[in-house]
Amino acid sequence: MNCALCRGAILPGDEINLHHPVYRSEGGIDVEPTHKACHVAFHSRKGDFKAWGRLSALTRRWAFNLKHVKDNPAYEFDRQYYLMLYAE
């Protein structure tokens, strides 16, 4: 099996991520295996992490994911804000 981004071999023990060539937010469902480092570098170069961080800050989605926040009652308002405005 080869990495979809660098085309190098994925060896046993390598950390892998599944990459959506068409982003899920744009309707993509297909995935390709990649080295974790290649996947992170790809999205870093494209500025995706910065964009996703901005979106998460606006919607308060972070209140469900961050360690020591997702279960903390002090952030219940942020979780309810997200659910009220953005949850389907």
Output the pTM of the full model. 0.65
Q: What single string gives the DSSP state of each residue in 15-34?
A: -EEEE-SS-GGGT----EEE
Q: Where are the domains of the chain?
A: 1-46, 52-88
Model pLDDT for residues 2-34, shown as the tens digit of each residue: 999 999 999 999 999 999 999 988 899 999 999
Condensed to tens digits (0 to 9), the pLDDT of residues 48-82 reads 988 888 877 888 888 888 888 989 999 999 999 98
Beta-carbon contacts of 43 under 8 Å, excluding residues fewer than 6 positions away, are 49
In angstroms, the CA 70 to CA 48 distance is 23
Handedness of CA 67, 72, 77, 80 (dihedral sign): positive
- Collapsed DSSP state (helix, strand, coil) of residue 49: helix
Looking up tokens 């996947």 gives: 39
